[in-house]
Amino acid sequence: MKKLALLVLLFIGATQISFSQIHFGIKGGVNYNSDSFQNVTEDIVNGAKSKTGFHAGIWTRIKIPVIGLYVRPELVYTSLKSEVTSASDSKLKANYDFQKIDIPVLLGKKFLKIAHVFVGPSFQYVIDGDFKSLGDEVESIDTVVDGLTVGMQLGAGVELGKIGIDMRWERAFSDIESSLVSQGVSNRFDTRVNQIIVGLSYRF
């Protein structure tokens, strides 16, 4: 009987510890279609000329015992605008507005009690896209997306109580290829998007 009581107490204790290591919340923020923090800064100073978008979603953070790291999976809806140029003809351009589901799985480390850094893969699925030609010479547009694509995110942030702010750089790895047809000639270009992401989160 004593052994059973001890096992019950150990189970309850382990459960409490496990739940104390798990946090979850909501998040949202602004996405900048750029692969350079410097370019984003210059665009903001000049009136935010960069193609921008937004994101919103949920997250959870699970602390890994002993080693002091955490895993942070997220489920995020992202809407973004991009201007693309043909690799074979620089005069051939189009606006690309698209929406996607992002699932980052980040490995992070907290330090100084309020700061943290993180890195990890981001799985992405484009759910809708709309091309708008910037020139009358474009006859048709064809988009080829390999379904689920993969990228990487890295960044840093701070947490003040239940409020968190972070900044990330996202690099797409998988090909997202499209083509513009002009005067019977197909011009292919890569529509992968690199982003600077500024996010605000709330922990329940």
Residue 50 · residue 80 · CB < 8 Å: no
Amino acid 184: pLDDT: 63
Amino acid 194: pLDDT: 80
Domain assignment present for residue 6? The answer is no
Domain assignment present for residue 108? The answer is yes
Residue 128 · residue 98 · CB < 8 Å: yes
Domain assignment present for residue 63? The answer is yes
Domain assignment present for residue 188? The answer is yes
pLDDT higher for 201 or 129?
A: 201
Amino acid 182: pLDDT: 56
Domain of residue 120: give its range.
23-203
Domain assignment present for residue 17? The answer is no
Domain assignment present for residue 139? The answer is yes
pLDDT tens for each residue of 151-184 = 899 999 999 999 999 999 998 876 665 665 655 6
Amino acid 45: pLDDT: 46
Here the tokens at position 52 are 């921008």
Domain assignment present for residue 9? The answer is no
pLDDT tens for each residue of 53-70 = 899 999 999 998 878 899
State how many domains the chain has: 1
Residues sharing a CB contact under 8 Å with residue 198, sequence separation 6 or more, in sequence order: 29, 30, 31, 32, 165, 166, 167, 168
Amino acid 183: pLDDT: 59
Domain assignment present for residue 16? The answer is no
Instruction: Give the CATH number of the domain where residue 80 resides.
Output: 2.40.160.20
pTM of the shown model: 0.76
pLDDT tens for each residue of 64-112 = 887 889 999 999 999 988 776 666 666 667 777 788 899 999 999 999 9
